[in-house]
A and B are shown apart, each in its own frame.
Chain A
Amino acid sequence: MDIETFTFMMIIISVTYLCWWAFKTEDSEK
């Protein structure tokens, strides 16, 4: 895997996790 593909994968994994975390966190805040 080259650096560009690695970077892309990191972005997608991080964004997906962040999105899930944000979605759940605000619900639990209620």
Chain B
Amino acid sequence: MRDLLFTVILPFYLYVSVKKPWIGLGFWLWTSCIKVNMLLYGFASSFQLNRAFALATIFSYIVGDNKNKFKVDSINFLFILYFIWVTISVILSDVAPNSLNFRWENFFKMFVFYIMACKILSKKIHLDFMLWMLIISYGALGCGEGLKYIISGGGHTVYGINGINGDNNFAAVMLLTTLPLTSYILGQTKTKILKTGLMGVVLLLVAGILATNSRGAFMGLSILGIYFFIKSERKFLVFFVLVFIITVAYNLLPDSWFERMNTIENAEEDGSFMSRVISWKMSILIAMDNPIFGGGLRAVEDYYTWHHYKADFGLLSFIPSPPPGGIYAAHSMFFQVLGDVGFVGLAIYLCLLATVFFKIGSLIRKAKKYQVGDWVVHLLKMIQVSLVVYCASGALISAAHTELLFFLFIIVHVIGEKIIYPVEKYEKTINNKGGDYAN
């Protein structure tokens, strides 16, 4: 039934993708972020949807009239440099080629998406469409879990969401990062029914995040609540909403949830946390041995690499942890990058994150100065929150390279170069001409 419905509607999706590359880009993002195939169980589950939409978008761009130049600003420069760094590290890596090539191919696909998005997207409607696609994808899946959680009275636990390629922690970070973006769309929506629906989505997303039992997400959720309260002009309303959510959640959450969150305070006694420390130490050892280019993508998860550095584990004995047993994932986006691309690669990655963060602040000031539009300021603020929340909760999971994170970079680039810069240039030209006439 699902497969049949999807097969019937797919030609329409491909048609609009070929007609308008930015719509194709939305589908490309959609099929990158959520694995639509995982939601189909029959013959349609084998469709190469991501590839089809990527090709449709590129084809549409090539044959179309609107060809924007690819502008290299500070964000793009660092992103391209990081991509080159990853590629060199992959070439020099000793990690098993099958796994390495697969990881690099994924990263290359993200890179191509990044370049195409920077070229294609240029208007508010493009960005809004992309954000809607994200909200529908992650929002619907998160709401489904939130609904199960509420119906079961807090008994439902998410171990992974069907459609999101990752465990409960990964899914929680994706849902958490989507929350501020939903808040932006909520602010842009005029229709009452849609507004009410989006408020429902926000509440169900919060329930879905709590259902994941993720400690990183709990930290991120707390940061989000504090941020909204501090920044909001309607503090009473936000306070009321927060109290309502906390009260409902407090009564709904099972004891096991509180027990798990309490382990944050007693990290040294927590086996799950100590396995992370072991993994972080392994990433440091890999980076110490390969300080410039690291060990290659997901080196820490490679069997031979893990066992090679296991022998040197004593070098970091001043960091208390049990001896290494089985192989673990990096369990932190920062340690993941450290092990993958070394200290220099991590420095580029951190510069990229910091550049995006500070550029948002600078763009907000420009948008206010040149009165570009309230929506630009609102969107930039929400991107900044999403970025902070992503990094805070991503510090505990291997999520250094995701479409969602790179999409946040794309939005900042597009707003800066395609929306604010033309207004700034125009205003400066007018002012200069005014000055010339006055002289």
Contacts and interface: CB of A to CB of B under 8 A. Distances in A.
Interface in A3-23: 3-8, 10-12, 14-16, 18-20, 22-23
B136 interface: yes
Contacts of B147: 3
Interface string B118-147: 000000010001001100110011011001
Q: Which of A12, A22, A29 is the most central at the interface, judged by chain B CB atoms within 10 Å of its CB? A: A22
Interface in B10-35: 12-13, 16, 19-20, 23, 26-27, 30
Query: Interface residues of B toward A: which range?
Result: 20 to 34
Given A15-B30, A18-B133, A19-B16, A8 B39 contact: yes
Given A3-B148, A22-B23, A22-B26, A8 B125 contact: no
Contact of B144 (A6, A14, A22, A25): A6
B143 A18 contact: no
Contact of B125 (A7, A10, A15, A25): A25
Contacts of A20: 16
A3 B140 CA distance: 11
B20 A26 contact: yes
14 contacts: A3-B144, A4-B162, A7-B141, A7-B143, A12-B5, A14-B140, A15-B133, A18-B132, A18-B133, A18-B136, A19-B27, A20-B16, A22-B26, A22-B129
Contacts of A6: 144
Given A12-B6, A19-B13, A22-B23, 20 more contacts: A3-B144, A4-B144, A5-B2, A6-B144, A7-B141, A7-B143, A7-B144, A8-B39, A11-B39, A14-B140, A15-B136, A18-B129, A18-B132, A18-B133, A22-B26, A23-B23, A25-B125, A26-B20, A26-B125, A29-B125
Contacts of A4: 39, 144, 162
Contacts of A16: 9, 12-13
A26 B337 CA distance: 40
B208 to A, nearest CB: 11
Interface in B397-437: none
Nearest to A22: B129
Contacts of A29: 125
A7 B26 CA distance: 19
Contacts of A12: 5-6, 9
